[in-house]
Structure 1
């Protein structure tokens, strides 16, 4: 899961989506989103290992601008396992 809470990161997300939506693979899309997201929460399972490189789509959801504060608080209380990877699509 990625959070884009600034105008810059949200604009970067839509630019990355436009560039990668037709031919992006799980690895390339996830790597790009990890680089531009304000907050990145690693998946419990690696998409490539569980489903392969083919993506069936991306979901975008608009949330309150306070979401980044809420997610950071949750991550401090419940950090992801140390061996998890930042791949979730």
Structure 2
């Protein structure tokens, strides 16, 4: 297993442990940190192990951080609904 895949799997374990801990802000601060670390990690996995592994790690990360993605998608869809001025 490459170092990038090892780091990605450790990221997934850490994200799941963080999700089990209680949080006053519903884990948003942790989500921001996980996103900031996860995006370069996906690039590293893709560079070392290829695009298939990169897509698998991206999908795994998206399943862990699904609510930030849902809110981001809603925000993007809301930007197109405003009338043109």
Q: Pick the TM interval, shorter chain.
A: 0.3 to 0.5
Max Rg structure: 2
Q: Which has the higher strand share?
A: 1
Q: Which has the higher helix share?
A: 2
So what's the TM-score if we normalise by structure 2? Answer: 0.34
